[in-house]
Structure formats: C-alpha cells, structure tokens
Structure 1
C-alpha cells in the first residue's frame, strides 16, 4: 500500500515539473538576431541621404528624367562655352547658371584659372562618348544667339563638375532658367570652404565677376606675412590712392562682363575695387557711363 502511494506521489511530481517548462524558445535570440539588421538598415539610409562631405545629397531635381538632345562636338571654346552641331548647324552653347574665368576676352584677356577651366571642359567633352544638351523652361538663347543649356558628358553634367573643382562660380541667374541653382549653390559653397581653384585666392571671385588684381594682392599679403612685416592698413592705401585726383574718392571699375560700375566709400566692395577711373561726384560717374552697384 505504501509502495502505491509513493509511486503516485512521484508520478504527480514529474507531471508538475513537465508542465512548468516554457512552451516556446526565448524571444531574446530573435531580438539579438534582428538588432544588426536594424542597424544596417539605418546605416544604409544615412549613406543614401548624405554625400561624403556630410551634406544632403538628394535634390527635388535629381529624378526629373528630362529629355536631352544629343549633339556632336565641334570644339571647346572656353570653360563655360562649347561649339556643337545642333539641328544641322554649328552653334555655340553657353552653359546655364555658371561663369568661368576668361581665356580670350578682347578686353579682359586671360584671367587666373581661365586656362585651367577651359582645359578641364575640353578634356571632358572631347573624351565623352555621348554629348547631350538639356534646356530649361525659359529662353534657350541669349542676346548673342548662343544656345543656353545644361551640358552632359556620358550622363554627368559639366556645370556640376566645374563647380566641384572650384573652376566656376554660380552666376547669371535669370528666372525661369534656374532649375539646378540650389544644387549649384551647395556645390559652390563646398568648393569655397575647401579653397579650391578660384576660391583659393581671397576676393578673386566676387558677385560682379572675377578680379585678377586680387591674385597679386593676395600673393603680396602672403609674402608680407611670411616676412613678418606689418601690412599697410587698407584705409591708408585708399586714402593715398584717392588723392590721385585732387581728393576725389569715387572709384570707377569695369567688371568681367564689361559693365561700368562706380563705388563710393560707403560701397561694401569699395576697398576691394581697383580703380580704373576716379570721380569726384556720382553725377560725374553717371555722365561717364558708370552705374551704381546693385544691392
């Protein structure tokens, strides 16, 4: 009898022990396995949304897939101008929204970084298997009857490449031909921060064009700093130069586009402007064909 009771008790204990075991494997293994996948996905998204320099790499204009017109290259004219065969005729194409230093301007001659910009564009367009033009929604010709377009070599836009190398500035922003201006401004900002090309010389590339005299001034400043001499204050230089014409202080300057602009001492560009002509009054400057700088 005791044996039967003992056997029954043992059997009951074994049954209770079996019911207390988990019915499913621990969830911790599943979470551990999922963690690397989540981390990898986050990392991939970050890589897709940012460029190597940390800025946002995507723009609303990236996936437009707009039509492009295949053309045949005739030659590279300048950093921002090429000659092509378009609809059976030889046409000059001026690249939209950028400006590169001159190489053969009748008045300005060869400007710093002009030959580099031309050589860069020349190499791109001459080695391309496919050369294409993309037009914006506004006029596709300028006042000189040149075609206005975005130029592509094997799918890469030349304007972007020039801006990335610091060989062009963003310029001639005339709506509605401004499709890529936001992206161009970002590329220019990055090149400027890295002091590439035209941005390696302080104040050389300005809103009104290129100022070759700044290269000599920059070199002189660096030489003075290296020798340990104290540079002459800008106010003193301006004062001495201003006395060149009986104390007249208004500077007349002709920019890279051939525009005649005068700068009074209150102008933000006054100290940087190299005078080509002095005026005593603004009326005198206007009479000579000069205008005030645009704000």
Structure 2
C-alpha cells in the first residue's frame, strides 16, 4: 500500500464519513470511495461496517488504523528531520552585485525567502555601477548580479526581472522645466544634463532625442546617484536616470519627469556562463528562475 492510501484510510476512520473525509483531503467523494474499495480488495478484508450512514471500524480496521498512524507519524518525522539536516548542511556564502534601481526590493524579497529556508547561508551585497559590478563578476569576486539594461550580457546567463525600469530626467522643482508632466525630445536639446558615465545610457538618450551624444549638452557625469541630487537641487544640471532611485536616498526638492515617448528597460539577473558554482549559488539561481521564468 502507498503512503497516500494510509492517509486516505486514516482520515476516513477519523471522520467516520466518506463525504467529510473527502472534503478534508480535498478530493472528490467518488475518488475516495474507490480508493477505500481498492484497499479492502487488496487486503481481502472489510475495514468498515456501514451503520446509519456512519462507518464503524472492524477489528481489522482498528488494527490498520493503529499501523497507519505509526507509518504516517514516522514518515512526517523523517521528512522533518531530513529538512532540518538539509538546512544545516546547505550552508555557505553568496556574493551579490546590485545596481540602484526599482528592482532592488525584488532581490530583498527573494533573499529573505531563501535565507528563511537556509538560515546557515550568509551573503554580501555589493552596490555600484553596472560596469564595476560586471568587472567583479568577471573576476569571480561576485557570484550573481542585478544589472540595468542597456548593458552587454553576452558573457552571462540572463533572467529579466518582472518590473521595467522607467527612464526620465531629475530636475529641481523650482526649475521652469519642472512644470512639464513629460519631456519630449525637443525639451532635451540644449538642456544642461548630468549623465551616467556609461556610454550605453548616453546613447540611449541620444537615440531617443534623435541626435548624437556630442550634441547633447552634457555638463558632467556620475556613476552612483547618491551625490547627483545635490547637484540637481543646486541647478548644476538635470540628471538622466531611472525612476525610484531617488526614494532610496533623499527627496529634497527633486522631481522625476518621465519621457514621451517613454523609455523603459529591464533589470536583469545575471550569472557568468561556464562557471562552476557552489551548491548555495546554484540554489539561489534556481530560486530566482522558479520565481521569474
């Protein structure tokens, strides 16, 4: 007899009623009736006496119920002990690179779930630009990373995350342009800009505006957004970046204005191709794939 059969029989014995037992087991009444009939045929003995719409255990039924309780309890205890042992054995460290973006909380949620299942695992988060993170990933100093497109990912396995990152311009609320609900290409031409230092985002904006990088009025560049808000608030320039990043730092008088037509790109979870990972890293990658593929 299968373990499932013991569970079915024990539940019927507890409720003394096929319908109630079927409801507790979340299966149909005919299915449970058929399972009971097959058990009695397999054991060549009746397990219940049917009296006034209630099932009463026979002597063989009482014996089987006792054995079923022992088998179910032993199985559940074994499964629990194996889970605890797996949690203890599945330990190690994972290093994660993560850009500043709206999907940072996605990483936090998956990591929280993963560490809850495997409390022996430790981690390190490295926050920087996509270039710096990619360099450390290539050098083997990081195991996995979250990057914002546009970014070269040919060397990596790539898993897009669900929420798109929306690009736009940060301006000071006292600037005249802050009255706009959206910015069109004509609004960008001549606007003093503070740009991400990577060439990919610069080209992204230039292509959107129908111009070249050289024709954009770029006052300066930045790698992380931590310091750029002070520059924007002091009217050094308007900053090109993604929505949501300012919420992780400061609000001040900074306002985010989206572009029209909009620019949006994916954040991607990546790990290096042809690299042998630890069991912990492979387990974390699998958890991300199960969550978002």
* TM-score, normalization by structure 2: 0.23
Q: Which has the higher contact order (CA 8 A, sep 6+)?
A: 2
More strand by share: 2
From the CA coordinates, give the structure whose radius of gyration is larger: 1
